[in-house]
């Protein structure tokens, strides 16, 4: 996903290929992949724990609890166990991020007590002050993946983005990791808003340990992909009856939120607007409705409306997809240039260029039956070609001033090439040097202006996995129907 400001318009991104039998890739055998193993590791807290000891509060203290806290510890997995009274328990609370609030000694009987707590999700760590090692950790598990592997103190530390959570869920379904999919779907639903003016909407991000504390920021592309992932879970997953009912209710509410974003008249008629929430002078305004329409958001929404028609039999979704299809071609496609604009505001088109507008736009055009236009959308992909740090691929913008390879964006190009009947394997292979032990960064270097990070990133890793699945003939993302695949 790329977010840029071009020609005064903010455009932020997000976004089905020929599908094999949805059950073809399923197996009870764990998937042997360094990349997938790393992604699964991002479901944990990231704290290095050096023993099998435990630290347990005496009850499940809710986030709003501010009173005293007590519990106990047990030592295990230590060659030479220290004296219990040499150890401490650290209490942390998580709101927008984790905050350490206090340390208390462990008593001789293995108990600990804090006289008070702070609001937020509670985390407890058993610490050896002599070495600084964390011997045990107790933290809430919401089934949320940490989007980036960055050190404590980094602004992305411990954050889960709904876009990455959705991609990870779709990847788990593609790989046949259905038990993991259950956990991820539960996590995705924790990012959905209950009640109020944004009921059903998926927030942009939250602390993985405290999703209830998310800022009320909503981007239609993120939301569309999250809704798509829930629909895929209903179609391809194996939730028990209670989980299915919960996912179905969430998908229906999410669809209503998305349908409400579609403009019915005016210069953006038929398109979905960008969402809600904006940082302006004086702070964050959750009621601010973004006036523009992003091309990426709209192709994401089109795929989601079509899947909602298939999975839910929602007539409104089928109608919305038809209207949106026409609006995308009429209001976001430049016939003169043979490409998609980056988006459109009420004042007119945003003529900016972006890699994923070309590749994801081509995926939309191919799935919608516009083969010639899909080829046009990809015709200038060479403008984005870049080689850096041993990897070859594509930059997020044309002719980058400094070489950079965007992992997620390059994988998106490979998927578009595959759908258009081109040889996509070399594109993915040339990206491999960007990975270390199967772990992919967001990009080969950090670039603040381009919103790129070189930190290990779930978005890049899952996109690579999904393209590998597509190349192997397995279900991937935005899969085409058999009729479309034969077109």
pTM greater than 0.75 (yes/no): yes
Give the single-character DSSP code of 106: P
- DSSP result, 285-345: EEEEEP--EEHHHHHHHHHHHHHHHHHH--HHHHHHHHHHHHHHHHHTEETTTTEE-SEEE
pLDDT 10s digits, 165-219: 999 999 999 999 999 999 999 999 999 999 999 999 999 999 999 999 999 999 9
Cα gap 298→302, rounded to integer Å: 6
State the distance between the two ends of the chain, measured CA to CA, in whole angstroms.
29
- Cross-strand partners of 138: 124
pLDDT 10s digits, 8-43: 333 333 332 333 333 333 333 445 599 999 999 999
pLDDT band at 486 (very low <50, low <70, confident <90, very high): low
pLDDT 10s digits, 372-401: 999 999 999 999 999 999 999 999 999 999
Asked whether 204 and 161 are in contact (CB, 8 A), the reply is: yes
Q: Is 155 exposed, middle or buried (0-12, 13-18, 19+ CB in 10 A)?
A: exposed
């Amino acid at each position: 996903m790329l977010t840029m400001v071009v020609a005064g318009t903010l455009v932020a991104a997000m976004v089905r290929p020929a599908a094999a039998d949805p059950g073809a890739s399923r197996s009870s055998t764990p998937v042997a992949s360094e990349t997938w193993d790393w992604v699964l590791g991002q479901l944990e807290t990231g704290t290095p724990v050096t023993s099998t000891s435990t630290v347990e509060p005496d009850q499940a203290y809710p986030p709003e609890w501010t009173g005293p806290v007590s519990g106990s510890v047990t030592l295990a997995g230590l060659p030479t166990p220290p004296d219990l009274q040499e150890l401490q328990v650290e209490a942390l609370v998580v709101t927008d991020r984790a905050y350490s609030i206090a340390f208390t000694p462990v008593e001789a009987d293995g108990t600990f007590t804090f006289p008070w707590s702070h609001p937020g999700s509670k985390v407890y760590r058993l610490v050896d002050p002599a070495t600084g090692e964390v011997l045990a950790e107790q933290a809430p598990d919401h089934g949320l993946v940490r989007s980036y592997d960055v050190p404590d103190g980094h602004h992305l530390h411990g954050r889960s983005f709904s876009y990455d959570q959705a991609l990870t869920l779709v990847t788990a379904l593609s790989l046949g990791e259905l038990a993991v999919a259950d956990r991820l779907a539960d996590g995705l639903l924790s990012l959905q808003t209950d009640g109020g003016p944004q009921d059903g909407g998926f927030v942009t991000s939250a602390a993985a340990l405290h999703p209830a504390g998310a800022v009320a920021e909503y981007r239609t592309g993120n939301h569309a992909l999250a809704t798509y992932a829930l629909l895929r879970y209903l179609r391809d997953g194996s939730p028990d009856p209670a989980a299915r009912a919960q996912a179905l209710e969430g998908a229906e509410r999410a669809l209503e939120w998305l349908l409400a974003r579609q403009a019915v008249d005016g210069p953006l008629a038929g398109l979905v607007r960008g969402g809600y929430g904006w940082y302006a002078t004086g702070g964050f305004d959750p009621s601010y409705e973004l006036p523009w329409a992003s091309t990426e958001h709209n192709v994401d929404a089109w795929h989601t409306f079509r899947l909602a028609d298939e999975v839910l039999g929602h007539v409104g979704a089928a109608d919305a997809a038809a209207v949106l299809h026409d609006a995308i071609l009429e209001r976001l496609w430049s016939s003169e240039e043979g490409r998609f604009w980056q988006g459109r505001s009420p004042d007119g088109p945003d003529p900016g260029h972006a890699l994923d507008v070309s590749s994801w736009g081509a995926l939309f055009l191919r799935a919608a039956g516009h083969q010639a236009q899909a080829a046009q959308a990809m015709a200038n992909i060479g403008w984005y070609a870049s080689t850096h740090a041993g990897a070859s691929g594509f930059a997020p913008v044309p002719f980058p001033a400094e070489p950079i390879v965007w992992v997620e964006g390059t994988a998106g190009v490979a998927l578009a090439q595959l759908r258009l009947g081109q040889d996509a394997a070399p594109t993915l292979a040339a990206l491999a040097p960007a990975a270390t032990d199967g772990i992919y960064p967001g990009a080969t270097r950090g670039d603040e202006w381009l919103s790129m990070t070189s930190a290990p990133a779930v978005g890049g890793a899952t996109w690579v996995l999904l393209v590998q699945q597509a190349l192997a003939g397995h279900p991937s993302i935005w899969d085409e129907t058999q009729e479309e695949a034969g077109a």
